[in-house]
Structure 1
């Protein structure tokens, strides 16, 4: 994922030392209710949501023509391969 570019606003001058020295933490200048309201807003969780049945990462060596055939089906080829393997696994005889 590409990083967002640093945005600058040439119309906004840099803060002076005097302005910086006058700054106070939000807790000091807001009422308790205002501060609680802005700090209770939770940022969204990053990344993908946790799956109910997470996939297991594996490394497998396959014949090139198998991989090419699935890739030729376009986006989502890994999911389609998983579906084919799931169906094949259901048809396997149970080990006794």
Structure 2
């Protein structure tokens, strides 16, 4: 006879497999990997390109490169937030 919590655990495992299959496979094999919300490779790459453009724009007095570096830095910073995929709740209306 199944325990009442078994259904919840099976549902949780199915959602985990659907949300982040790489993490679920790694967890099942006993070699844990970072969950998707903590993988920041793209954020670091975007920030590196932004800083390179900013430095190039300052070395060669070119305002367009400086502006592009600042815009890319502004795009890269929110990518470091692990909660970025969750919907933001606004103020409650009554």
If the TM-score is normalised by the length of the shorter chain, which range does it land in?
under 0.3
Which gives a bigger RCO, structure 1 or 2 (Cα 8 Å, sep 6+)? 2
Length-normalised TM-score, structure 2: 0.24
TM-score calculated relative to the size of structure 1: 0.24
Which protein has the larger Cα radius of gyration, Structure 1 or Structure 2?
1
Higher helix share: 2
